[in-house]
């Protein structure tokens, strides 16, 4: 543990580096960004002239923002209102010059108290806490979000997809090439590395899986990706929408989470056992068991909007049941086949009921909490499902312990409310406020039509 003096010296050095980089790039504005309970990315910017002092003290923010919902309403019954202040305290390691916004840079922030300690309603600090919990058990959590999103234009008040190209077709790649190439360059410039790219099944749908990273970096990368996709698309007169179901009855936008646990030295993938079934270790199976046990509650965080439940339907490859299986793309957890030559490194699990309207700090932290609970309690995931679980009879699913996932946000929130492990992991303040904010979203869309739901999600995510 570094002494406080050394820590503050290190922070000073980092702050001076950021100020130097801003000067060299003629940056005017530095955005201090965060993602709140509603999953919307927000922030405040300061002028670079005043940057040194804001790096030191953070930028002030009303506590009320953690009682805001995605309809941009301050929730009346929320815990936070007009009185009270926190600080957006930047993490210097997240500094990036934004390739899509002129003379602008950004920093990702923790929400801290006025004294500078983590605020107990801060999502990013929650993920750090879960990373710390894993570390005490000797684990490092590695993950990547595999984003799908929709490129579209707004014409006469309607969202019109960029194209109707066939799945994985080069027709789709070509029609999106100008915007996608610029997006990829912009991500690389910010230290986020897309590993593959393809035009997906849905209208105007793109998929851009990025390289895995340790959990905090992975969640930060998710903010970078959402911001960059939207920012670059706008320069081309397009919208990049991460709404879970941008067009009803068409393929939804998933943000499947690929993840693995590693030994603290980073050398050994704990999920990997060459002698295990599907190359998975006992710890890997127990992790699956934990995720499945908590899944109805977990989806309240990984598929956290009203629109998310329009996506989680059978036969859309988004998963709709608590089933798992090797390379089963209708399973909530897919065990991807390992890659020849890099068997250990490529051993991972994929969570399908996860979409890009989530707050990545909350969803990754909760996924880790569920999996660690599985390891601690040696939870049995049951038998793998080798077919589409929707093709099994109700009796057969019951026999195998396969449950339908919640079919609405309200149902998922009920499950979260009942889940002591996830609620305790979030901590009382964050759990209560998250539930309150999300319940208000359920009410906000109650009685409204599909068009309103889609409009609200289309441009905010
Ligand atoms: N678009 C599907 C989803 O909503 C995923 C398709 C796939 O990549 O398997 O999750
Ligand atoms: Mg896909």
Query: pLDDT in tens for each of the 461 residues of the chain?
Result: 455 578 889 989 999 999 999 999 999 999 999 999 999 999 999 999 999 999 999 999 999 999 999 999 999 999 999 999 999 999 999 999 999 999 999 999 999 999 999 999 999 999 999 999 999 999 999 999 999 999 999 999 899 999 999 999 999 999 999 999 999 999 999 999 999 999 999 999 999 999 999 999 999 999 999 999 999 999 999 999 999 999 999 999 999 999 999 999 989 999 999 999 999 999 999 999 999 999 999 999 999 999 999 999 999 999 999 999 999 999 999 999 999 999 999 999 999 999 999 999 999 999 999 999 999 999 999 999 999 999 999 999 999 999 999 999 999 999 999 999 999 999 999 999 999 999 999 999 999 999 999 999 999 99
Instruction: From 72, 93, 119, give the residue that closes a domain.
Output: 119
Instruction: From 119, 146, 173, give the residue that closes a domain.
Output: 119
Whether residue 225 is contained in a domain is answered as: yes
- Distance between CA atoms of residues 89 and 113, nearest Å: 9
Give yes or no: residues 406 and 316 share one domain.
yes
Please identify which residue in the block is written with the tokens 């290190």: 10
The pick from 206, 252, 321, 353 for probing ligand 1's pocket by mutation, whose C-beta has the most ligand atoms within 8 angstroms, reads 252
Give yes or no: residues 230 and 371 share one domain.
yes
Give yes or no: residues 364 and 428 share one domain.
yes
142: left (phi over 0), alpha (psi -120 to 50) or beta: beta
Paired strand residues for 258: 144, 350
Whether residue 185 is contained in a domain is answered as: yes
Helical ranges in 40-169 per DSSP H = 51-57, 123-136
Neighbours of 46 (CB within 10 A): 16
Give yes or no: residues 114 and 167 share one domain.
no
Say which CATH number the domain at 412 has. 3.30.590.10
Give yes or no: residues 142 and 112 share one domain.
no
- Distance between CA atoms of residues 435 and 231, nearest Å: 30
Give yes or no: residues 135 and 112 share one domain.
no
Q: Are 169 and 197 in contact (CB under 8 A)?
A: no
Give yes or no: residues 268 and 362 share one domain.
yes
Whether residue 134 is contained in a domain is answered as: yes
Q: Are 208 and 225 in contact (CB under 8 A)?
A: yes
Whether residue 89 is contained in a domain is answered as: yes
The structural domain count of the chain equals 2
Give yes or no: residues 198 and 338 share one domain.
yes
Report CA(147)–ligand 2 centroid distance (Å): 8
Say which CATH number the domain at 19 has. 3.10.20.70
Neighbours of 9 (CB within 10 A): 12
Report CA(197)–ligand 2 centroid distance (Å): 10
Give yes or no: residues 50 and 192 share one domain.
no
> Distance between the two ends of the chain, CA-based, in angstroms?
39
Whether residue 115 is contained in a domain is answered as: yes
- Distance between CA atoms of residues 160 and 150, nearest Å: 10
Domain that holds residue 99: 4-119
Give yes or no: residues 339 and 404 share one domain.
yes
Give yes or no: residues 205 and 72 share one domain.
no
Give yes or no: residues 421 and 308 share one domain.
yes
Q: 251 CB under 6 A from ligand 1?
A: yes
Q: What is the SS3 assignment for 43?
A: strand
The pick from 145, 198, 201 for probing ligand 1's pocket by mutation, whose C-beta has the most ligand atoms within 8 angstroms, reads 201
250: enclosing H helix or E strand: none
- Distance between CA atoms of residues 193 and 221, nearest Å: 9
Q: What is the SS3 assignment for 138?
A: coil
Index of the ligand 1 atom closest to the CA of residue 318: 10
Nearest in space to 178 (alpha carbons), one of 253, 237, 224, 223: 237
Instruction: From 94, 119, 144, give the residue that closes a domain.
Output: 119
Index of the ligand 1 atom closest to the CA of residue 256: 10
Index of the ligand 1 atom closest to the CA of residue 329: 9
Torsion from C-alpha of 223, 226, 231, 237, nearest 10 degrees: -170
State the ligand closest to the CA atom of 209. Answer: 2
Whether residue 124 is contained in a domain is answered as: no
Whether residue 195 is contained in a domain is answered as: yes
In this structure, the residue with its CA closest to atom 9 of ligand 1 is: 317
Q: Please indicate, yes or no, whether the overall pTM of this predicted structure exceeds 0.85.
A: yes
Whether residue 396 is contained in a domain is answered as: yes
Index of the ligand 1 atom closest to the CA of residue 202: 1
Angle at 282 between CA 279 and CA 286, to 5 degrees: 115
State the ligand closest to the CA atom of 147. Answer: 2
């Amino acid at each position: 543990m570094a002494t406080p003096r050394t820590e503050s010296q290190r922070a000073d050095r980092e702050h001076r580096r950021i100020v130097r980089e801003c000067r060299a790039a003629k940056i005017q504005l530095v955005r201090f960004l965060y993602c709140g309970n509603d999953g919307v990315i927000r922030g405040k910017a300061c002028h670079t002239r005043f940057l040194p002092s804001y790096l030191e003290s953070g930028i002030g923010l009303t506590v009320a923002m953690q009682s805001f919902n995605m309809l941009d309403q301050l929730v009346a019954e929320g815990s936070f209102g007009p009185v009270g202040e926190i600080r957006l305290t930047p993490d210097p390691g997240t500094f990036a010059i934004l390739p899509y916004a002129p003379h602008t840079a950004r920093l990702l922030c923790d929400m801290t108290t006025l004294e500078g300690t983590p605020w107990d309603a801060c999502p990013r600090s929650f993920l750090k806490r879960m990373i710390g919990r894993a570390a005490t058990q000797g684990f490092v959590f590695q993950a990547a979000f595999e984003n799908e999103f929709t490129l579209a234009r707004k014409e006469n008040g309607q969202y019109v997809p960029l194209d109707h190209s066939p799945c994985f077709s080069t027709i789709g790649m070509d029609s999106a090439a100008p915007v996608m190439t610029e997006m990829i360059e912009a991500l690389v410039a910010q230290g986020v590395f897309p590993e593959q790219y393809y035009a997906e099944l849905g209208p105007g749908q793109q998929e851009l899986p990025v390289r895995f990273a340790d959990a905090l970096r992975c969640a930060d990368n998710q903010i970078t990706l959402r911001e960059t996709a939207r920012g670059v698309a706008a320069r081309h007169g397009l919208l990049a929408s991460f709404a879970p179901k941008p067009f009803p009855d068409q393929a939804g936008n998933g943000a499947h989470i690929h993840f693995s646990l590693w030994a603290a030295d980073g050398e050994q993938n704990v999920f990997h056992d060459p002698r295990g079934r599907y190359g998975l270790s006992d710890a890997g199976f127990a992790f699956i068991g934990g995720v499945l046990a908590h899944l109805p509650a977990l989806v309240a965080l990984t598929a956290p909007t009203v629109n998310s439940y329009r996506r989680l339907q059978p036969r859309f490859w988004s998963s709709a049941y608590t089933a798992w299986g090797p390379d089963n793309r209708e399973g909530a957890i897919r065990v991807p086949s390992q890659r020849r030559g890099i068997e250990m490194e490529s051993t991972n699990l994929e969570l399908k009921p996860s979409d890009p309207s989530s707050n990545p700090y909350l969803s990754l932290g909760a996924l880790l909490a569920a999996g660690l609970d599985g390891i601690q309690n040696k939870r049995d995931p049951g038998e793998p499902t080798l077919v589409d679980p929707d093709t099994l009879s109700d009796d057969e699913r019951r026999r195998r312990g396969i449950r339908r996932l919640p079919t609405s946000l309200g149902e998922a929130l009920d499950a979260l409310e009942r889940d002591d492990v996830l609620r305790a992991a979030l901590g009382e303040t964050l759990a209560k406020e998250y539930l309150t904010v999300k319940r208000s979203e359920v009410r906000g869309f109650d009685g409204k039509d599909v068009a309103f739901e889609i409009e609200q999600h289309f441009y905010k995510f």
